[in-house]
Amino acid sequence: MGGQVMAILIDTDVLIEYLRDKEAIVSGLVEAYERGNRLCFSPITRAEITAGLRKGEEEITHKLFAIMECLKIDDDIGLKAGEYMKSFRASHSTEIADALIAATAHLNDIPLWTLNRKHYPMKDIEFYG
């Protein structure tokens, strides 16, 4: 996305790959951070990462979240996520976690960095990467 500084909402799958030391993800995240981008996450992502932590990942996970910004889930995000669920649950098996993350990206007007774009059939969100 050029050299511009921006905020990026990082999906759970990207952070999992970072923690698993996948080279392309590690370098991409480091590059985004070094360019001064605001790396953001949803409380949903924090919960999913915490639930799946492997032994020995606690310290790096703590450091990772310390350099990122948590975007709050509020009533507007809940409403938008509900609209996404209503529109896409039957056709795309959209789960509430993905709907909340998508709504967070949409209402904060920032791109979502995910490795699972099929989880996000919404036409009104922008993707990063």
Q: Which residues pair with 10 in a beta bridge?
A: 113
Per-residue pLDDT of 8-36, as tens digits, reads 999 999 999 999 999 999 999 999 999 99
Note the pLDDT tens digit of each residue in 56-86. 999 999 999 999 999 999 999 999 999 999 9
Residue 27: Cβ within 10 Å count? 10
Average pLDDT value for residue range 80-109: 93
Architecture of domain 7-115: 3-Layer(aba) Sandwich (3.40)
Question: What are the residue ranges spanned by the domains of the chain?
Answer: 7-115
Are 65 and 41 within 8 A, CB to CB? yes
The angle at the Cα of 81, spanning 69 to 52, to the nearest 5 degrees, equals 55
What is the three-class DSSP state of 74?
A: coil
Write the CA distances from 70 to 82, 98, 118, integer angstroms.
21, 16, 24
Q: What residues contact residue 120 under an 8 Å CB cut-off, 6+ apart?
A: 98, 101, 102, 112, 114, 127
Could you tell me which residues are beta bridge partners of residue 70? 41
Q: Give the confidence band of 5 by pLDDT, cuts at 50, 70, 90.
A: confident
Report pLDDT for 3.
58
What's the CA gap between 22 and 18, in Å, rounded?
A: 6
